[in-house]
A and B are shown apart, each in its own frame.
Chain A
Amino acid sequence: GAGVSQTPSNKVTEKGKYVELRCDPISGHTALYWYRQSLGQGPEFLIYFQGTGAADDSGLPNDRFFAVRPEGSVSTLKIQRTERGDSAVYLCASTPGLAGTNTGELFFGEGSRLTVL
């Protein structure tokens, strides 16, 4: 697609439920990033992929959070046993990713707003 696409744009769920958020990066971008943004705060790094593998998952807050990118394109962020504190906008970004093609510019999607009641 022309840009990074995230679905759903809004998700309301109940405490304890399981949630999946999807990110479709720009075609050909090998690197994909997930961030979480709370109101009034900057984007908080969660994880980034280079191809199919998670290159750095040091930002995942705990083992309830997991992300996959099985074919090196679409990624899914999975949150188990959601808590009210998980409520935030989850942002996905992609970048060409490879040395020689990378410019350091992240291309962001519009985000998925998660509300845990």
Chain B
Amino acid sequence: LAKTTQPISMDSYEGQEVNITCSHNNIATNDYITWYQQFPSQGPRFIIQGYKTKVTNEVASLFIPADRKSSTLSLPRVSLSDTAVYYCLVGDGGYSSASKIIFGSGTRLSIRP
């Protein structure tokens, strides 16, 4: 399983765009990149998943360069409620049968007024 590296913590202010970058140098050809969000006292919640280029949904955008060795989660115009831990995962999680899924330590994002 490919290892991921992401910042331990980040701070930002309400209304700003926040970009969290994750490194995954050993990503395999059939690996997808998935991001989860976790609030205190809750289980992680799926945010977005991608394989290459750019993916956008109502919550976030995910940018993946051509070499796929990194990815950037972009949160537009954050609010206080975006304060959470964000996890970047890499694995064969897309459209094949279930497999082992590993979480790293995540990035603790704090949003200030």
Q: Name A's B-contacting residues (CB within 8 A).
A: 4, 30-31, 33, 35, 41-45, 48, 50, 55-56, 58, 91, 93, 95, 97-100, 102-111
Contact = CB atoms under 8 A, between A and B. Distances in A.
Interface residues of B, number: 27
Contacts of B104: 42
- Describe A's contact surface by its main secondary structure: loop
Contacts, number: 79
8 contacts: A42-B85, A42-B104, A43-B103, A50-B98, A56-B100, A91-B44, A103-B95, A105-B46
**Binding site secondary structure of chain B:** loop
Nearest to B91: A104
Q: Which 10 interchain pairs have the tightest Cβ spacing?
A: A108-B43, A104-B93, A31-B98, A42-B103, A97-B98, A105-B46, A43-B103, A99-B97, A104-B94, A56-B100
